[in-house]
Each structure stands twice: as C-alpha cells, then as structure tokens.
Amino acid sequence: MTAKHLERGRQGEDIAASFVKELGWKILDRNVVFRGGELDIVAMDSSELVIAEVRTRAEGWMQPGEDSVGPRKLGRLVRSGRLYTDMTGWEGPWRIDILSVTMKKDGTHSIERFEDVTGGAWFS
C-alpha cells in the first residue's frame, strides 16, 4: 500500500471510531493483530461484543468498501474474533459489523454500518 492509502485507511478508522462512540458503544481495543488477521475496532454495544471491520474508499472508487469483504476475509475475522474472546475471557455474544467509510472529494465523508454480516451472533 502506498503512504496515501495507509493515511486514508487511518483516517477512515478514526472516523469509524468516532461514529461508534456516537452510537453509544464503548471501544475496548483498536488494531488488534493476530497471526493471519487484524481487528480494526473491538467495542461493546450494550451487552454484545462487536468486531468492526473498517473499509475506507475514496468517492468514485469502483467498488464500495463493504463489497471488498468476501468469504475469505470474513473467515479471518471470525477466527480472529474467537482468538480475541479466548484471550480476554469474553463468554457472551459477539458479532461482526462492517463500517464502510467513503471519503468525498469536498473533504467530507459518509459512513454506512452493516450489522452482523455473518448472519448470527457468536457465543464464546
């Protein structure tokens, strides 16, 4: 990745973190790295743990951010989520959300949340 892409990704993650705080979530961790995967944002939404995958795109990009998360990436997120819950001792429900951030040409942004993209809460 070029430096510009890395910077845009960091900006998107910061925007997403602010967004989930506005939703009332409590952020527990950011950028947790495991062998074979990384968790962008780990937060609590009421009594449910949320693994939030952040995808950032420039406006006009040929593929929206949420479309870039395929079965392989979802599998990595599930594995990393299980490692995280094992590591922290979390025994309640958890889910995976996608936060798609679009950086607009005028300097503003938009964000969309896709909740529970694996089709059911996981239990540790």
Q: Is the pLDDT of residue 105 over 60?
A: yes
Give the residues across from 122 on adjacent strands: 94
pLDDT of residue 7: 76
pTM: 0.85
For the chain, how many structural domains are there in total? 1
Q: Kindly report the CATH number assigned to the domain that includes residue 49.
A: 3.40.1350.10
Q: 89: domain range? A: 3-123
Closest alpha carbon to 85 in 50, 116, 36, 54: 50
CA distances from 57 to 39, 79, 120 (A): 18, 25, 27
Q: What confidence tens digit (pLDDT) does each residue in 19-60 have?
A: 999 999 999 999 999 887 899 999 999 999 999 999 887 776
DSSP letter string, 88-107: HT--SEEEEEEEEEEE-TTS
In the structure, what pLDDT confidence band is assigned to residue 118 with cuts at 50, 70 and 90? confident
What is the tens place of the pLDDT at every residue in 60-100?
666 555 656 667 878 888 999 999 999 999 999 999 999 99
